[in-house]
């Protein structure tokens, strides 16, 4: 019999899946880089648990390593976090728990990052409504726990892991996210947006660091939207 408790347990198992293992290795890469930047083990693990978003953590770590101000770091982290807002808006209809917002929904939203969001959007629609929130909470708890362990492991092993290996591990999550977006893109506008974003990202990172993620999403999403409409008209044989 399917129950919310079973949904929660099934969600925990995502931490042992391929996406969960990729996230764990990415967290290990962050732990190694954090130690190299002079952070303590406690601060590294705390940052992972509180932020639970690798780009924001890397940005904050970079600011600390450069001797930047806390305000400047907080501002840049806030800008990188803007990308999560559309993800929260997209998944919230699947996390309804009565008519009012509950503490369980607030807790679930904290887990909205790349891996948890993709797995949630993939799994939740096929589940009964009364199990969706519990299942996503299981996904979140499992993945957060996995990243905490991964961060601590990477930090402790940093002395024996070359920097290039730590950087490669950290890059696993963006690669997984990119490939997952392509695999789950159902419309031409989605694919256009993803590919345009992949091309614009490195360029905007050089030109406007700190605003690159925000501008990449805005520009690529706009191009994808209007490009997808034009593609649909051409496909249907209509005049451009």
- Residue 114: which H helix or E strand, with range? helix 114-123
Instruction: Give the DSSP letter string of 1-41.
Output: ---HHHHHHHHHGGGGSHHHHHHHHHHHHHHHHHHHTT--H
Cα→Cα distances 113→39, 54, 63, 69, Å: 23, 9, 21, 26
d(CA 233, CA 100): 41
In whole angstroms, give the CA distance from residue 231 to residue 155.
48
pLDDT recorded at residue 186: 64
pLDDT tens digits for the chain (240 residues)?
567 788 888 888 888 888 888 888 888 888 887 887 788 889 889 988 888 877 777 777 777 776 766 776 777 777 777 778 888 888 988 887 665 667 888 888 888 888 888 888 888 888 888 888 999 999 999 999 999 998 998 888 876 667 777 677 667 666 766 776 666 666 777 788 888 888 888 888 888 876 776 788 788 888 887 877 776 666 555 544
Residue 39: how many other CB atoms lie within 10 Å: 20
Query: How many angstroms separate the CA atoms of 32 and 37, rounded?
Result: 9
What's the rounded Cα separation, in Å, for the pair 68 and 179? 34
Could you give the CA distance from residue 204 to residue 223 in angstroms, rounded to a whole number?
Answer: 16
């Amino acid at each position: 019999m399917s129950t919310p408790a079973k949904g929660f347990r099934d969600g925990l198992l995502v931490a042992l899946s391929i996406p969960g293992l990729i996230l764990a290795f990415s967290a290990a890469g962050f732990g190694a880089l954090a130690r190299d930047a002079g952070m303590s083990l406690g601060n590294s693990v705390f940052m992972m648990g509180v932020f639970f978003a690798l780009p924001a953590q890397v940005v904050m770590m970079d600011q600390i390593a450069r001797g930047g101000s806390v305000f400047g770091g907080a501002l840049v982290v806030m800008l990188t976090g803007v990308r999560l807002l559309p993800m929260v808006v997209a998944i919230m209809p699947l996390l309804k728990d009565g008519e009012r917002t509950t503490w369980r929904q607030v807790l679930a939203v904290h887990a909205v990052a790349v891996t948890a969001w993709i797995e949630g959007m993939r799994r939740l629609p096929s589940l009964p409504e009364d199990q969706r929130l519990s299942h996503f909470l299981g996904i979140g708890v499992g993945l957060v726990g996995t990243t905490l362990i991964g961060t601590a492991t990477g930090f402790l092993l940093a002395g024996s892991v070359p920097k290039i290996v730590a950087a490669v591990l950290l890059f696993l999550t963006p690669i997984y996210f990119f490939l997952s977006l392509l695999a789950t893109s159902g419309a031409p506008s989605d694919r256009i947006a993803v590919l345009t974003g992949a091309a614009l990202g490195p360029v905007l990172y050089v030109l406007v660091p700190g605003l690159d993620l925000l501008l990449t999403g805005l520009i690529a999403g706009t191009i994808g939207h209007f490009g997808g409409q034009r593609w649909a008209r051409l496909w249907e044989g209509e005049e451009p």
